[in-house]
Amino acid sequence: MRMDVVSLTRQLVDIESISGNEGLVGHVLAQELKVLGYDVRRTPVEGERANVFATSPQEPNPAVVFSTHMDTVPPFIPSSEDNDCVYGRGSCDAKGIIAAQIAAAEVLKKDGIYVGLLFLVGEERDSRGAKVANQQANGCKFLINGEPTENRVAIASKGSLRVQLTATGRMAHSAYPELGESAIDKLIEALHRLRAKPLPSDPEMGPCTLNVGTIEGGRAPNVISDHARAQLLYRLIGPTEQLRREIVAAVGDLAKVEFTLEIPFVRLRTFEGLSTMVAAFTTDIPALSNWGQPLLVGPGSIHVAHTEGEYVEKKQLHEAVELYCAVARHSLGLA
């Protein structure tokens, strides 16, 4: 009997697992996989947070591993469904994907094809789970990573560069601005320069983009600000050396520039005859370099992930089961 992928999706969505709180969902997944007959290893990452890696007793070192993440962004939204969709936090990013991958592994098992299942913590924050897993790779040849791509195979995944700008000034009474030095004014000018700066673009991969995510600073409306800070995120389509130099040059002495995190742009493998796309978002793939050749595909749309109306179409969930099976067979040269 085929696994009920919709019910499993809802079961997982109803377990709150915002990044940093993945302990319970990991325990539940480990137990479910043990019931299905898998050998399961939980690898601690932090406190109760642990990655879950499952293999079939018939193949402890599988050539193909399905992988995605257990954590979600806030806030927690419990599951619901109608005739067409499952709703709730994580329904498409990425608990529906977990359910589809487990269901696909069960279908493949009936045909004597044994794949691994790797479910990770922390993807939405810093890929910490993936970094831990990369130190304990099992020698697999192919990593089928799941993110919401509407069941199209990604030919590339954009990277990301996080930048922090910190401006400093001198406090004064706002009635006498000439006696102070506004850190906020400096920050605004620095942001204006960066927003006006042309960014690279590629006809196939699309543009590099900039988002000013947060701005904070100042003391009170009647005080000239002595500090201000902004957090920026660039979506990358290539290396960052030139971009970093241009950011520093544009900001000049208006603010201190710190590059706090980089996830590189990656090109990915695909197979002839499969629908493709470019993922404008980042994934755990760059942190899983020891887990074989990566491929990225999954049900659901990234356009509704991280929204209050997040959902995944039931039709796409069922199609994803077949797609994951097909991709595994292609990877192993069995298609």
HEC letters along 230-281: EEEEEEECCCCHHHHHHHHHHHCCCCEEEEEEEECCEECCCCCCCCEEEECC
Structure tokens at 130: 């993936």
In degrees, to the nearest 5, what angle opens at C-alpha 121 toward C-alphas 120 and 122? 130
- Given a contact cutoff of 8 angstroms between Cβ atoms, the answer to whether 97 and 147 are in contact is yes
Report which DSSP code applies to 287: G
User: In terms of DSSP H, where are the helices of the chain?
Assistant: 5-13, 23-35, 96-110, 128-134, 183-196, 241-251, 314-331
What is the three-class DSSP state of 311?
A: strand
Query: Could you tell me which of 261, 250, 179 has the C-alpha nearest to residue 213?
Result: 261
Structure tokens at 119: 């479910």
The residues, ordered by sequence, that sit 6+ positions from 5 with a Cβ below 8 Å of its Cβ are 96, 99, 100, 103, 317, 318, 321
- Given a contact cutoff of 8 angstroms between Cβ atoms, the answer to whether 227 and 167 are in contact is yes
The catalytic residues are 123
